[in-house]
Structure 1
């Protein structure tokens, strides 16, 4: 099997570094490319809606989502470091050809949906900042495909530097937004205490969690960690896992800061002034100047949005290459692959905007998140199976405690996403003029996905192993009954 991202595989040496700081610095970078997926335009809508409707009350949801994301991304990095396989390659080696084709197809749809959100977000930012019509702004986003090609040819470190600059722009933009908005610090701290004001808050909370862990990020991280060349001894592997965890912690906490800042900004401006219905990115942009009294507030908001969209599209397109090469073992010219990925996102966006107008962009962003939700379990569950496998992980498998925590996180995320998808399908059935078409297409498709998900959950377990685990569990709960017999 070919190496993951072969053109940059083991291209960054971490050896012969004179100080610990230089050693750590050599490993820094992959998590920043991953972190932009956690602050992409798809997250902005849920953060703005949460802040405008419920003030600071849902900040704890963002914090919980960040902890979940950190756990899953650390598992993804561990898989890549230990096995030298990305998640797509590991799936290809584990499942049958038929199952792999389905998983590949679902991953491609998820990446296209994610790219759609990023393209729309970037286009909205260009539209708001420069007044360029939205359709033309969408077409402009094609150009960053060539930017990605240029950066990857210059080496992975140049690409990481470019993404870190964009993340820094987003971060500084929101630091100034916080200065303008002057949020109530006491309320911010209080928002970190778990609470749900009402049932509507639960729906927004599900949306926030659903938009947090991106399936393409798990494929991406397991590949990017392989760009580092390090000592393959047990001590070297252990050190690489440790430094990549530090990298992930810093990068994902920066993403948490950005998401929290968006929610806090919405709370300190819209919620405070009784504007509870602000959920669209365009509306948030237009209301910032009159509320905060400075033209810099909407300008910085649009600049951060463009930077978020640009950085996310770069990493999303890279994930597309990893998924295609991993599942199909198929290599095509990178620029062809990236053009295809971008067109899959741009063509539907242009057609929908031309037919229905610019007012549907918010609905398209939500739809992209629902599509992502459908695919999430098909990335998380195989990942947990792989890093729990003693044979695959050569002694670096995760502990029982981490396994329990991982399955709990997977259960929460998949359940909440399933509820979100169920609610959307129910809504479509109730509002559709011809629900029979949905009953014959969408509903059977959703049931098929559920059956496939259950297959992936139980695939590694034989009947004897399942019975053994049930017996062990029974012994732990009722030890006295076993001993008495």
Structure 2
């Protein structure tokens, strides 16, 4: 089967000492981590922190642990079979099933792109005063950024993403220093509460956090970009590659958890404790953060981090879209065309909302996009868990039984939470 991202497939050499080989595998995990802190994640974390304080911090931690397990399986599948998740689905399932899975994956990528369009446009508005509707249109130009980075080589693209992640981390560190959150409240938030299951509003935000953390397109992305490494043909070489790839993604996702937790903690410390319980709009957060924290620096840091998140997510969503399209239907288009198609599909609802309703509904649209991702998630998770538990597919590299059991439990939990969300929506 023709590899996805053929221009980058096997382009990163893996040689030398064990440390040098491990360093060669550093990078794909940070591309994946970018999707765990996109603008949609901001909206759900802000809504959760302002409405419920730190009560949903446990969900952020649980979601990140689930993500670590699932991304480890994604790397294992790619290295063990030489195929990404989309290619494996195409090979193992009937064409009709594969086609439906492709449509669902594309819908998830459009939902992801929708969050990036709105988030980047808001970042441009907050930092440079560009009207929101114009900012939405300007985001279409980021296709040239993605093309330029890919032409420079995959390692350069990874370096760009990591540099922006460092900027985001520093921005949030500064905001947390200014906010001075309660350590007791943070510790309390790490303990689960039954309200998450019994309170429909809290469950809705919790599923948004889940959808924003364990994102379906990231499973396809990781399984594709890890194959940019030159992986040896023997079982020992592949075992080592799996170990290094899992360490890479685990470290990167732990870093993403710190960012996600920081957003929620910042919202709880800044808004919830001061009685602002309905802050779901990024613009409201930016407007309120200066008077509440007493310095305009906090607002500038907020805007810089938001814009960096939008730019980073643009890169990874484009790569995921290429992997999904090339893997499922073996249809290759240039990154420019691919980006314009997905960005166009996301621009329509984003432009409609911003022009018709202004800023009032952008936060709700961001949260809705994350819930859509949560509903699409089982259609990527179930095949992944099934494939990696199959000795027929992976042979000696099949996932250990304990890991497969945990993965099946995660898949069951995701299905149960989605069923509860749909049941609450139908019954009102």
The TM-score with structure 2 as length reference comes to: 0.96
Which residue in the other structure is 1:11 paired with?
11
Residue 302 of structure 1, CA deviation: 1.0
SS at match of 2:278: coil
Distance in 2, Cα, partners of 1:39 & 1:81: 26
Relative to structure 1, the CA distance from residue 423 to residue 4 in structure 2 (aligned partners, 3 Å threshold; closer, same or farther) is same
Which residue in the other structure is 1:477 paired with?
none
Distance in 2, Cα, partners of 1:235 & 1:321: 30
Which residue in the other structure is 1:217 paired with?
218
Residue 148 in structure 1 maps to residue 146 in structure 2: yes
Distance in 2, Cα, partners of 1:35 & 1:287: 28
With 173-182 and 193-202 compared, the bigger mean Cα shift is at 193-202
Residue 424 of structure 1, CA deviation: 4.0
Which residue in the other structure is 2:252 paired with?
251
Q: What CA deviation, in whole Å up to 9, does each residue of 1:7-45 have, x standing for no partner?
A: 000000011x2x432221110000100111111111112
Q: How does 1:72-471 map to 2 (within 5 A)?
A: 72-196=70-194, 199=199, 200-424=201-425
Residue 196 of structure 1, CA deviation: 4.4
Relative to structure 1, the CA distance from residue 382 to residue 118 in structure 2 (aligned partners, 3 Å threshold; closer, same or farther) is same
Distance in 2, Cα, partners of 1:22 & 1:414: 41
Distance in 2, Cα, partners of 1:176 & 1:328: 45
Residue 408 of structure 1, CA deviation: 0.7
SS at match of 2:3: coil
Distance in 1, Cα, partners of 2:212 & 2:424: 16
Give the conservation status (yes or no) of the 8 Å contact 2:87–2:328.
Answer: yes
Distance in 1, Cα, partners of 2:213 & 2:426: 21
CA RMSD of aligned residues (A): 1.5
Larger Rg: 1
Give the conservation status (yes or no) of the 8 Å contact 2:207–2:374.
Answer: no
Give the conservation status (yes or no) of the 8 Å contact 1:75–1:387.
Answer: yes
Give the conservation status (yes or no) of the 8 Å contact 2:178–2:298.
Answer: yes
**Runs of 5+ consecutive residues of structure 1 not aligned to the other structure:** 428-485
With 272-281 and 412-421 compared, the bigger mean Cα shift is at 412-421
Which residue in the other structure is 2:68 paired with?
70
Which residue in the other structure is 1:36 paired with?
34
Residue 210 of structure 1, CA deviation: 2.9
With 262-271 and 343-352 compared, the bigger mean Cα shift is at 343-352
Residue 207 of structure 1, CA deviation: 2.6
Distance in 2, Cα, partners of 1:417 & 1:256: 22
Relative to structure 1, the CA distance from residue 207 to residue 282 in structure 2 (aligned partners, 3 Å threshold; closer, same or farther) is same
Which residue in the other structure is 1:455 paired with?
none
SS at match of 1:229: coil
SS at match of 1:7: coil
Residue 426 of structure 1, CA deviation: 5.1
Q: What CA deviation, in whole Å up to 9, does each residue of 1:233-254 have, x standing for no partner?
A: 1111111111111101110011
Residue 422 of structure 1, CA deviation: 4.0
Q: What CA deviation, in whole Å up to 9, does each residue of 1:42-92 have, x standing for no partner?
A: 111221122112222221211111100000000001111111100110000
Residue 308 of structure 1, CA deviation: 0.8
1:50 to 27, 44, 48: 48
Residue 381 of structure 1, CA deviation: 0.5
Relative to structure 1, the CA distance from residue 376 to residue 235 in structure 2 (aligned partners, 3 Å threshold; closer, same or farther) is same
**Runs of 5+ consecutive residues of structure 2 not aligned to the other structure:** none
Residue 425 of structure 1, CA deviation: 5.2
Which residue in the other structure is 1:457 paired with?
none
Give the conservation status (yes or no) of the 8 Å contact 1:54–1:267.
Answer: yes
Distance in 2, Cα, partners of 1:146 & 1:29: 22
Q: What CA deviation, in whole Å up to 9, does each residue of 1:201-243 have, x standing for no partner?
A: 3443233223221110000000011000032211111111111
User: Larger relative contact order (C-alpha < 8 A, sep ≥ 6)?
Assistant: 2
SS at match of 1:177: helix
Distance in 2, Cα, partners of 1:370 & 1:204: 8
Distance in 1, Cα, partners of 2:272 & 2:368: 25
